[in-house]
Structure 1
Amino acid sequence: MLSGRGQVHKQQKASRGENHMTEKIKTTALGLVAGASLLALTAYTAPASAADLGGDCCADLEERVAELEATTARKGNRKVSLEVYGQVTTAVMWWDDGFEDNVYVVDPQTSNTRFGFRGKAAINSDLEAGYNIELGWQTADATKVREDNDEGADIPEFRQAHWYIKSNTWGKVRVGFADTANSGIAEIDLSNASVADGMSSSQAGSAIMQNDMGGPAFGNYEFNRANVVRYDTPTMGGFVVSAAWGEDDLWDVALRYAGEHGGFKIAAGIAYGENTDRNNGAGPTDDPAIEVLNGGLSIMHMPTGLFVTTSAGTRDADDFADEEHFWFLSGGLERKWFTIGKTTLFAMGGEQEDRSDRTATFWGLGAVQKIDAAAMDLYISYRHYELDGGTAGLVDPNEDKFDTVVGGARIKF
């Protein structure tokens, strides 16, 4: 038997034990509630604060969330990758047509502003499947601005929307809106000169010369992009053969080569195609057949950086007054004189003659400076044109010269 004091002591001890257990339960419960609240708050605030990685207590967590979000955007689902890419290209263009001179802010056509999505997935050790969606956007296409309109085209343009299957053994097949076989064949260039609006067809001010002055239509006669089925062989000794067919309206074939010999890097291609689409630019006749033959060659001496690039082509149809043709030649030097990146200096010349016997002969100079750390190209080019209006004549015979200077930048992402 316990004495009265012992009984009281036992009761007090039991009471303290119960109180201690109660406090422990309360503490544990409060801890769980606080932890759950913190997790809920983090989940709620992470997307909003991921871009602000300040020096607070949650900076490491927010930085990790931002990294995970970026990784998810790049990888797509677990089977097919996703890559977001693109570039912004804008410039300032001064032009003088002998009647008026002006300065416009433009988007050069040679390498225009664009963004896209592409990805792929391995089927087995030999096969892969993939896709490409690409959209171009030009608020003031340098080839379409006019004397009375400094905006040019202002609409988005699909450049790619196709899927493909590629085999290392059998080649690549793509289906959808894609490059035809001759797309890019007259734009082969191992140097960086083409960034400065340096190729034959994409000439700043061409709409002014054609529509406001009575000069020729410009082009390199590529079919560019269309709804096609295209096949490319595997590379064999540096050669690739391509063929494309689109909706019973066009087909073309091309042969390309890329390789190095004795310190020289060489890239070349030639293509032939036919197009019976009534919107192919041939004229009012329904479904006239257009035949095109074009190609390009670029050679660079790797030890010195000296290069030469040329392209040429013809286009003909039954209702053409004359066969159209163009030729283009550029050459220069590409060296890394500055630590920021390579510098390209070049001169160029060429001629365009359209189906109405209108011609434009031109020459020019240009420079491109790469900034490797920013994936950026700074460029400037000058061109001088001599125009002949053919049998139709120029709008004003005294205005037969056109000059333009284009300077700007391209940055890739």
Structure 2
Amino acid sequence: MQTRPLILAPILCLGTVPAWAEDLTFTHPSGATATFYGQLNLTYQRVDDGESSYDDFVDNSNSVSRLGFWIDVPAGENKLRFNVETGLGFKSTSDTNQIDDPDWIDWQRTDLRKFEAVYSGGFGAVWFGQGSMATDSLAEIDNSGTSLAGYVNLPDTAGGYEFRDGDTLSGIRISDTFRDFDGSRRFRIRYDTPEFSGFTVSAAYGEEILAEDDDASYYDLGLRYAFESDVYEADAGIGYAWKSDDDDEDTEQVIASTSIKHLPTGLNATFAAGDGQDDNGSYGYVKLGWEGDVTNYGSTALSIDYFDGSDYETDGSESKSWGIQAVQTFDDLNLEAYLGYREYQFDDDTGADYQDISALLLGARWRF
């Protein structure tokens, strides 16, 4: 059995970081403010592909380590804001694999998450620059409190690993066979309508400027809904996106998700579905969970989930996965500790004998 070196010291050090209760906000005499924020989300990852196991200490792609700031500028009755945010370029759970060992720190321009301005008021909001398209997060609405340990975007846990056909690597990765078709971040212009009875409509046009050799045009539409009372908290969304590419085939995708929590009991349910159109795969996803106060440190959240997909990689293929998640919050430290376990299963009509892959995450996220 192969094992990569295991480094546990940094994960223990997360428990010693300071708890910065005050906001890192600075005010200019003109009234403009700058607010800095960030997070570290380091995790122990263990993956077993049926023949060998691999251990790593890496960044958690479910919510990568990052730094950013907001600048708010007075604009009369409206609001003008600027946001810059970048990932730190750490090797992550979606980068690791059986073949090579990426550098632990390798910041690239694709790690730049946001560089945008937003002007908002009674008319809604207009966004310009690198940031979320209209369908970003619409497949991933999740009020379970456990998304750090696992959620519908399954490749974030171990997407670079290949399934073995018998004892031979097949070249088919987890990220090829489990996709949620969620929207992305692009250099775009986006408009959000004002909220009406909990509903908001968004539309965006964008281009990929951070990755090379992508001259496509991206368009999408999204509808969001949010509701909260003394009894229920509910969020839902549905989106449609398409890509127009002169050098490749145009693609379309439809996504939807909803998450409902019963506040008195903490019981919650999350559902998601997506269709890649044009034979690019489709799936359904369900997560059932509970969140409540077990200790005086902060909330405890537990959940189980199941993913059922088809027609990824090849027509007639089946992609199935189940997982369990647990997250414990430590309010005084701005810290969330988590444990997640997942199994991936893939099968197609080629006669290959793909072995199941299991993945474990144990880590903590500290935010300021």
Shift of 1:197: 2.7
2:194 aligned residue = 234
Aligned with 1:373: secondary structure?
A: helix
Match of 2:128 among 160, 169, 175: 175
1:261-288 deviation per Cα after TM superposition (whole angstroms, max 9, x unaligned)? 571111000000111247xxxxxxx232
2:359 aligned residue = 404
TM-score by length of 2: 0.83
Name the CA shift for 1:139/1:392 in 2 (closer, same or farther; >3 Å): farther
State the AA in 2 paired with 1:260. E
For 2:125 and 2:270, locate their aligned partners in 1 and report how far apart those are by CA, in whole Å. 28
Contact 2:255 2:275 in 1 (8 A): yes
Worse overlay, 350-359 or 116-125: 350-359
Name the CA shift for 1:79/1:277 in 2 (closer, same or farther; >3 Å): farther
For 2:322 and 2:365, locate their aligned partners in 1 and report how far apart those are by CA, in whole Å. 23
- Unaligned segments of structure 2, at least 5 residues: 1-21, 208-215
1:385 aligned residue = 344
For 1:71 and 1:178, locate their aligned partners in 2 and report how far apart those are by CA, in whole Å. 23
1:78-122 deviation per Cα after TM superposition (whole angstroms, max 9, x unaligned)? 342111101000100111101211211121211110110112123
Pair 1:263 & 2:231 matched: yes
2:250 aligned residue = 289
Contact 1:110 1:199 in 2 (8 A): no
Q: Which has the higher contact order (CA 8 A, sep 6+)?
A: 2
Contact 2:140 2:182 in 1 (8 A): no
1:224 aligned residue = 184
For 1:185 and 1:252, locate their aligned partners in 2 and report how far apart those are by CA, in whole Å. 11
1:372 aligned residue = 331
State the AA in 2 paired with 1:171. G
Contact 1:162 1:175 in 2 (8 A): yes
2:288 aligned residue = 331
Match of 1:205 among 152, 158, 177: 158
Match of 2:112 among 158, 163, 171: 158
State the AA in 2 paired with 1:330. K
Shift of 1:146: 0.8
Contact 1:200 1:327 in 2 (8 A): no
1:149 aligned residue = 100
TM-score by length of 1: 0.74
Match of 2:314 among 338, 356, 372: 356
State the AA in 1 paired with 2:291. E
Aligned with 1:204: secondary structure?
A: helix
Contact 2:45 2:361 in 1 (8 A): yes
Contact 2:138 2:183 in 1 (8 A): no
1:156-177 deviation per Cα after TM superposition (whole angstroms, max 9, x unaligned)? 401100111101x100001111
2:61 aligned residue = 109
1:188-232 deviation per Cα after TM superposition (whole angstroms, max 9, x unaligned)? 111211011333344422211369443543321123100110001
State the AA in 1 paired with 2:322. W
1:342 aligned residue = 299
2:242 aligned residue = 274
State the AA in 2 paired with 1:118. W
> How many aligned positions are there?
327
State the AA in 2 paired with 1:254. G
Contact 1:362 1:386 in 2 (8 A): yes
State the AA in 1 paired with 2:355. D
RMSD between aligned alpha carbons?
A: 2.2
Shift of 1:185: 0.5
Shift of 1:344: 0.2
2:72 aligned residue = 120
Shift of 1:324: 1.0
Pair 1:253 & 2:214 matched: no
Shift of 1:71: 9.6
Aligned with 1:257: secondary structure?
A: strand
Larger Rg over CA atoms: 1
State the AA in 2 paired with 1:313. G
For 1:210 and 1:225, locate their aligned partners in 2 and report how far apart those are by CA, in whole Å. 29
State the AA in 2 paired with 1:143. S
- Unaligned segments of structure 1, at least 5 residues: 1-69, 279-285
Pair 1:311 & 2:295 matched: no
Contact 1:206 1:217 in 2 (8 A): no
Worse overlay, 330-339 or 218-227: 218-227
Identity over aligned residues, as a percent? Answer: 28
Name the CA shift for 1:273/1:124 in 2 (closer, same or farther; >3 Å): same
